[in-house]
A and B are shown apart, each in its own frame.
Chain A
Amino acid sequence: MSFHWESTIFSIIAFGLLYWLLNKYAFGPLFGIMEKRREIVLGELEAAEANRKESERLLAEQRQALEEARREAQEIIETARRTSQKQAEEIIQAAREEANRLKNEALREIQNEKNNAIAALRRQVSGLSVQIASKILERQIDEKAHEQLVEQYLKEVGKTS
């Protein structure tokens, strides 16, 4: 066993050189790559987090929109029901009024007809009376004949009227 300090010096120089070479050409780039990957992973994690938040926000928005749409639909149905009810009532009301109007009109017409008929009858009766009277005046001679005549004319009147 011998000791040579030259080996020590050589060892120091060699290690220094190796340290420099390794860090410049091998480990340096490797550290760089690892650091870059770390950053990428970090960035992707952040992006994923952001995406999650965004989707949560969108989901909440969708839910709200759906809720709103449902409420609106309910409102529309409610309105339609109210409108239709009102319309139905209106229709019934109108029908009832129309019926009343027709009935009243009919009544009035009947009244008119009745009045007309009575007037016409009155006119005929007076004409008849005048005729009867003139006939009676024509045949005053014979009481019998007169009676017969009255009867005959009454019959005639009865026939014509």
Chain B
Amino acid sequence: MRIGVHEFPVIEVGGFHLDLSAILAIVVSGIITFVIAKLATRNLSIRNPSKLQNFMEWVVEFVHKTIASTMPLSKVKMFVGLGMTLITYLFVSNLLGLPFGIVTEHHEEFRLFGSVVVSEETIEKHGGEVHVAWWKSPTADIMVNFGLAIIVFFLIHILGLKMNRKHYLKHYVEPYPVFLPLNLIEQIVRPVTLAVRLYANIYAGELLIATILMLNFVGIPLLAVWQGFSIFVGAVQAFLFTILTMVYISQAIVHEDH
């Protein structure tokens, strides 16, 4: 038995390979995020806010402060919505894989919607038994994270070009034109590190949980500790992703006089 590593349920539809676990995770995370946000803002009140509304306002103020620490106050307002979406969605996503896992064991070919999910070959390769993991954090999938990183990448450059064209373009050849390749690499590396950092933290957390689960009863206290820590990691990573996004946007759109 291989420790911790599972196959993912991938079906082929019209030439596309859809990773059902990733899609399920994204949809569930999105729905949970939206439902919580909607619940918190259901009966909005100016003078008598509910507890959830209070909490959500605290989050808004936290995000506002976070963004304000990266750019001038006049520009903060535009990005509070983005920051809120990022931090709430990522926090929910990071925690999604923690409470439980759904793993199916397959000893023979497994089909879903007429598409082969586990082939005989794969079973052969894994020694007659294949574990398929259906439940995970969406952010434990690097391809999902790349999606977010690509959004951030385009945001940075489109905003930079729109709001601060001259200085945005100029900064590629600063301090000397020789630095152009370096600056270009930097622009590529930034979103990649965003995605990989998030993926590595969350995936490592889930991997360890899967590993601890193999200890059976002995692992329970350890599991509790690690899950608690994973909540912390999830929060920190959500925050990091958000603030780094804001820092990058700020660097692109804000021209500082030197």
Given contacts A27-B37, A31-B60, A37-B46, contact A11 B81 (CB under 8 A): no
Residues of A within 8 A of B70 (CB): none
Quick check: is A21 within 8 A (CB to CB) of the other chain? Answer: yes
Quick check: is B211 within 8 A (CB to CB) of the other chain? Answer: no
Q: Are B22 and A7 neighbours in the complex by a CB distance under 8 Å?
A: yes
Q: Are A8 and B150 neighbours in the complex by a CB distance under 8 Å?
A: yes
Q: Are B23 and A7 neighbours in the complex by a CB distance under 8 Å?
A: yes
Chain A residues 131-155 with CB under 8 Å of chain B are: none
Least Cβ–Cβ distance between B253 and chain A, in angstroms: 18
Q: Are B85 and A6 neighbours in the complex by a CB distance under 8 Å?
A: no
Given contacts A10-B147, A27-B41, contact A1 B5 (CB under 8 A): yes
Q: Are A22 and B46 neighbours in the complex by a CB distance under 8 Å?
A: no
Least Cβ–Cβ distance between A117 and chain B, in angstroms: 114
Chain A residues 49-92 with CB under 8 Å of chain B are: none
Residues of A within 8 A of B60 (CB): 27, 30-31, 34
Quick check: is A48 within 8 A (CB to CB) of the other chain? Answer: no
Of B10-18, B97-105, B110-118, B225-233, the stretch lying at the interface with chain A is B10-18
Residues of B within 8 A of A5 (CB): 143
* Interface of chain B: mostly helix, strand, loop or mixed: helix
Given contacts A23-B81, A27-B81, contact A11 B144 (CB under 8 A): yes
Residues of A within 8 A of B82 (CB): 19
- With both beta carbons as reference points, the residue of chain B lying nearest to A38 in the complex is identified as B46
Least Cβ–Cβ distance between B66 and chain A, in angstroms: 15
Chain B residues 4-51 with CB under 8 Å of chain A are: 5, 8, 10, 16-19, 22-23, 26-27, 30, 33-34, 37-38, 40-41, 44-47
Q: Are B80 and A12 neighbours in the complex by a CB distance under 8 Å?
A: no
Extra inter-chain contacts (16) besides given A6-B18, A30-B56, A37-B46, CB under 8 Å: A2-B10, A6-B17, A10-B22, A10-B144, A11-B26, A12-B148, A14-B30, A15-B85, A15-B147, A22-B84, A22-B85, A26-B38, A26-B40, A27-B41, A27-B85, A40-B46
Quick check: is B172 within 8 A (CB to CB) of the other chain? Answer: no
Given contacts A8-B147, A14-B26, contact A29 B44 (CB under 8 A): yes
Interface residues of B (CB under 8 A from A): 5, 8, 10, 16-19, 22-23, 26-27, 30, 33-34, 37-38, 40-41, 44-47, 53, 56-57, 60, 80-82, 84-85, 88-89, 138, 141-148, 150-151
Which 10 A-B pairs rank lowest in CB-CB distance, beginning with the nearest? A11-B147, A26-B37, A7-B143, A11-B144, A8-B147, A7-B22, A12-B147, A33-B44, A23-B81, A19-B85
Q: Are B81 and A28 neighbours in the complex by a CB distance under 8 Å?
A: yes
Q: Are A15 and B89 neighbours in the complex by a CB distance under 8 Å?
A: yes
Complex Cα spacing A53 to B44, Å: 34
Contact of B81 among A6, A12, A31, A40 (CB under 8 A): A31
Show 28 residue pairs from A and B whose CB-CB distance is below 8 angstroms, ordered by the A residue.
A2-B10, A4-B17, A4-B143, A8-B147, A8-B150, A10-B18, A10-B147, A11-B26, A11-B143, A11-B147, A11-B148, A12-B147, A12-B150, A15-B148, A18-B33, A19-B81, A19-B82, A23-B85, A25-B41, A26-B40, A27-B41, A27-B81, A27-B84, A27-B85, A30-B40, A30-B60, A33-B45, A37-B47
